[in-house]
Amino acid sequence: MEYTVLGSTGLRVSRLCFGTLTISPLQRDFNIKRGAALLKSAYDMGVTFFDTAEIYGTYPHLKEAFSRIDDVVISTKSYSYDERTAKKSLDKALLELGRDYIDVFMLHEQESRHTLRGHSSAIEYFLKKKQEGVIRAFGVSTHFAACILAAAKHDEIDVVHPIYNKRGLGVADGSRLDMENAVRIAHQAGKGVFAMKPLGGGHLCSDISEAFSYVIESEYVHSVAVGMQNLREIEDNCAYFSGKRDIAFELEENKKELMIHDWCTCCASCVDVCKSGVLRVVNNKIEIDNERCIFCGYCGAVCPNFAIKVI
């Protein structure tokens, strides 16, 4: 496995990061034992970096896998917007992960300098906890190039977690080139950069090696978060990120779709939360652009009627 240091944080991480959204209730919904077994298998093959979020519901899986292992780096994120919600989110992460500290704590889905300013009291709380040693690094996750540019100017942001793939799928405010430029600037400012959605939610699986190469060969990306759902995927990805670039990737035949059940009331909560802009209301029904959807499942998390699921 190839390893690197995550920017100026001093955290040594594997270049392959296990993104746990895939095993979460928002997607494959693996039970704790099954999910933990996959996480532990990845660790045994050299993966030391794991990404989660409060919304994913995978804290118990990580705790089960790593309660007796100290050398993993865990990054999480929440939608905290003030000191009260920041404290609640951090306390929840510490309790449910069974840890005394969090390696990387990020604000989830930030958009620009304006959203960062709007979350200033949450940021101040997390920075206070960083000074106390409860958080080792603070960062932001985003689909917006503008947020990466804002973070590059924010001295107290250590890590950025942008959507980053060869077609720019999911970049909410521009093109692939816009995100490339923003990531370059953030890297030059000393930020740790770990990319998400290198396969564009599955749309780039026709040539996984080429899609991975685009991200891993960037001199500005330290690590790449990849969702994995079975042992073969873990083996192939670990081999690739260990330097074997000629892997013939074999995926389960599992073309993703976003399904909306017929009991949907068209409240449009999903439309409001979708950063990719692939959902819209047409004739009092939710219409999906499955060719552009990155299948994050966040729309399902806000549906009050549990009518949406990634399948």
Q: What is the pLDDT of residues 70-91, one digit of tens each?
A: 899 999 999 999 999 999 999 9
> Where is pLDDT greater, at 127 or 281?
127
Structure tokens at 81: 């917007």
φ/ψ of residue 36, rounded to 5: -65, -35
> Where is pLDDT greater, at 168 or 277?
168
End-to-end CA distance of the chain: 31
**CA distance linking residue 215 with residue 218, whole number of Å:** 5
The predicted pLDDT at position 263 comes to: 81
Angle at 228 between CA 88 and CA 303, to 5 degrees: 50
Angle at 149 between CA 143 and CA 154, to 5 degrees: 115
Closest by CA to 115, choosing from 143, 76, 74, is 143
> Where is pLDDT greater, at 10 or 254?
10
Among 16-20, 47-51, 67-71, the minimum mean pLDDT is found in 67-71
Please tell me the pTM assigned to this model. Answer: 0.89
For a pLDDT cut of 70, what percent of the chain falls above it? 98
Give the C-alpha distances (Å, rounded to integers) separating 289 from 164, 174, 175, 272, 293. Answer: 20, 18, 18, 15, 6
Mean pLDDT across the stretch 51-57? 96
Q: Are 219 and 182 in contact (CB under 8 A)?
A: no
**CA distance linking residue 30 with residue 133, whole number of Å:** 32
Residue ranges and CATH numbers for the domains of the chain are 3-240 (3.20.20.100), 258-310 (3.30.70.20)
